Structure 1
Amino acid sequence: MSDRHAMTFTAGPAHIDELGHVNNTVWVQWIQEIATAHWHAVAAPAHVAAHVWVVTRHEIDYRGNIGLGESVIAETFIPGPPRGAQFDRCVVFRDRVGKTIVSARSTWALLDRASGRLCRVRPEIAASF
Structure 2
Amino acid sequence: MTPFTLPFTPTPADIDELGHVNNAVWVRWIQDMATAHWAAVADPAHVEAYIWVVTRHEIDYRGNVALGESVTAKTWIEKQPRGATFDRRVEFVNAAGKTIVSANTTWAMIDRASGRLCRVPAEVAAPFFL
- Same fold, judged at TM 0.5 (above): yes
Query: 3-state DSSP class of the match of 2:29?
Result: helix
Which residue is 2:15 aligned to?
Answer: 16
Aligned residue identity for 2:51 = V
Which residue is 2:49 aligned to?
Answer: 50
Specify whether residues 4 and 107 from structure 1 end up closer, same or farther in structure 2 by C-alpha distance, changes over 3 A only: same
Identity %: 67
Which residue is 2:32 aligned to?
Answer: 33
TM-score by length of 1: 0.97
**Distance of 2:88 and 2:2 partners within structure 1:** 12
RMSD of aligned Cα (Å): 0.7
Runs of 4+ with >2 A deviation: none
Which residue is 1:91 aligned to?
Answer: 90
**Distance of 1:6 and 1:84 partners within structure 2:** 26
Specify whether residues 88 and 16 from structure 1 end up closer, same or farther in structure 2 by C-alpha distance, changes over 3 A only: same
Q: CA offsets per residue over residues 72-110 of structure 1, 9 Å max, x none? A: 000000011100000100000001110001000000000
Structure 1: where are the runs of 5+ without partners?
none
**Distance of 1:97 and 1:116 partners within structure 2:** 44
**Distance of 1:97 and 1:43 partners within structure 2:** 32
Query: 3-state DSSP class of the match of 2:127?
Result: coil
Count of aligned residue pairs for this structure pair:
128
Specify whether residues 3 and 118 from structure 1 end up closer, same or farther in structure 2 by C-alpha distance, changes over 3 A only: farther
**Distance of 2:84 and 2:48 partners within structure 1:** 17
**Distance of 1:65 and 1:110 partners within structure 2:** 32
How much has 1:128 moved relative to structure 2? 1.5
**Distance of 2:48 and 2:2 partners within structure 1:** 22
